Structure 1
Amino acid sequence: MTVKIDVKGPIISNDEAWIYEWFDMDFTSPKTVIDQLANANGENVIVSINSPGGYVDDGSEIYTALKAYPGHVETQIVGLAASAASFIATAGDKVVIAPTAKFMIHNASMGNLGDHRSMEKASQMLKTTDRTIVNAYVLKTGKDEQELLDMMAEETWMGPQEALEHNFVDEIMFMDNPIKLTASSAISAMIPQKIIDSFRNGMINKGKPEGVTKEDLKASLAEFKNEILNELQLNKTNEPKEPTLKPANKRDLSKLFLSL
């Protein structure tokens, strides 16, 4: 029996998953994939990917779980495999892409605030993160590390044929004589960080020191759900390519992200 696992929507942390569930939004967290791999119990797995990317560390956890899985793993890029989702895609024993799908790699990025030392530290962390990400691409493509780093720095978009030519994928689905497709842009579906921070820090639950709970959220925000969803839809048009994160001196710098 073959087990199908979806990697859809942004790549997020386990502790943010309930927020996306509440808004009925697609997401993928390490737990969602690891639990399904455990249930697959060594059977062949097909991982269907349509994701704009997300947090690097959580993407790394998913990548590692797929690489370590004892059964055969085929990753299928059915829509978009961008940023963190792109290196997750390379974890498959076999990587295939739909003729209408896209593949994108780029540098990690993060928000930061502080003096010149903080900026230098953030810069070094980003460079280190890029070099850890590129390891997955080297393993898959056999390309030189510097060539891949240059492609990441240029934010390289690939259609199926380009992805095949660069060895990021092994096969284009349904096609014996694949044609080149034009890469295009996509918009992040990640919930804006300010909303997640509001949930976490208790800004919307009357100052309770323990912070907002799932029950508090449902009770206090039920009537505003459509309004917030409308704001999220507006953000899809107006937000920058990367969601805004907390200043480096006020958050865990290990939570870098790759996202459109």
Structure 2
Amino acid sequence: MMNTNGAYRPLNFNIKNAADDTAVIDIDGFIGRDIFEEWMTGKPSPNTVENLKNKLREITAKKVIVNINSPGGDLNDGLVIMEMLQSKSAEVVTNIQGFSASAATVIGQAGTTRRMSENAFMLIHRVMFGFCGYLNQNTMYDMIQDAEVIDTQLIKMYRKQSSLKEDEIADLMDEGGGYGRWITAEDALEFGFIDEIYDPADESDEDVDRLEGEDVENMKRNVRELAIQGMKGSEEFVNAFFGKELQSGKVTEKKSNKVKELQEEADSAGEARTRNLIIKQKLEV
């Protein structure tokens, strides 16, 4: 899906075929707000509850396949996303892929059918806090109490979904000094964290996203059409990129003509990028 608030960029929450019989949601990367990434890129974090909520409302499919490939992130976002998927009036299939940990495993429990690739790994751990600044013993004690409450609730959540007892789940979370340990798909199945192991190469598996080339071409075409609709005339384009210069009269006729030429070239390029980006890149060369 595309965020059209002035710039076109892909979301990590990629939802396709929302109105067909089956919809696919890809959850990749950090879950929740990644403040460091926002500081580095100047862009809002994509994998948040707010971003997914409205997208889920658009889905009318009878089955929703959720592909999860994430190291985890914000527990609050993970819990709310899990509950949103559970409340969806559709069959939900969760596919855990790659190295998925922490809040990603929480979302993985949302499936009507919980699955894991035979090549994937999963990790659960004790709750962790990220902080900066100065702490005193009272603050630290309060954090420990909060952590105990959260850990207890998480253990109950996993216990409800798995075949392990609460103390066994706690022991698994305690490994590695509370950072947990990576378990295989076979382990996850034995512990009851998933319902089945799948082979990504199994062509008869209807719950595997085949990443067909036609889907990719459709996506490229949609992006191209959005770009053309978004900037129809050279004057609008010039205003978007040179608004301040236009107001001050610093944009020369020669530069304006160059923009028009590049605009025409971008329209005929047939590339799966917005023509704004194509033109901007060439102007910077």
Provide the residue aligned with 2:58 in structure 1.
Answer: 39
Normalised to the residue count of structure 1, the TM-score between the two structures is 0.61
Q: Following the alignment from structure 1 to structure 2, what is the Cα–Cα distance between the partners of residues 20 and 142?
A: 42
Shift of residue 82 of structure 1? 0.3
1:10 lines up with 2:10 in the alignment: no
1:147 lines up with 2:172 in the alignment: no
The answer for unaligned runs of 5 or more in structure 1 is 176-260
Provide the residue aligned with 1:138 in structure 2.
Answer: 159
Provide the residue aligned with 1:161 in structure 2.
Answer: 186
Change (3 A) 1:64 1:21: farther
Q: Following the alignment from structure 1 to structure 2, what is the Cα–Cα distance between the partners of residues 21 and 63?
A: 28
Shift of residue 80 of structure 1? 2.4
Shift of residue 31 of structure 1? 2.2
Shift of residue 166 of structure 1? 0.8
Normalised to the residue count of structure 2, the TM-score between the two structures is 0.56
Q: 1:205-224 to 2 correspondence within 5 Å?
A: none
Q: 1:13-162 to 2 correspondence within 5 Å?
A: 13=33, 19=38, 22=41, 27-41=46-60, 43-112=62-131, 113-154=134-175, 155-162=180-187
Q: Following the alignment from structure 2 to structure 1, what is the Cα–Cα distance between the partners of residues 40 and 128?
A: 26
Aligned length: 174
SS at match of 1:156: coil
Change (3 A) 1:151 1:6: same
Deviations 1:103-150 (A, max 9, x none): 110011114542111111011111111122223211210422221112
- Greater Rg over alpha carbons, structure: 2
Identity within the alignment, %: 30
Q: Pick which of 105-114 and 54-63 moved more.
A: 105-114
SS at match of 1:54: coil
Change (3 A) 1:33 1:92: same
Q: Following the alignment from structure 2 to structure 1, what is the Cα–Cα distance between the partners of residues 153 and 40?
A: 30
Using CA pairs below 8 Å that are at least 6 residues apart, which structure has the higher relative contact order?
Answer: 1
AA matched with 1:171: E
Change (3 A) 1:43 1:173: same
Shift of residue 41 of structure 1? 2.6
SS at match of 1:5: strand
Asked whether the equivalents of residues 42 and 70 of structure 1 are also in contact (C-alpha less than 8 Å), the reply is no
Q: Following the alignment from structure 2 to structure 1, what is the Cα–Cα distance between the partners of residues 42 and 32?
A: 14
Shift of residue 51 of structure 1? 0.2
Change (3 A) 1:75 1:21: farther
Q: Give the root-mean-square deviation of aligned CA atoms.
A: 2.6
AA matched with 2:23: V
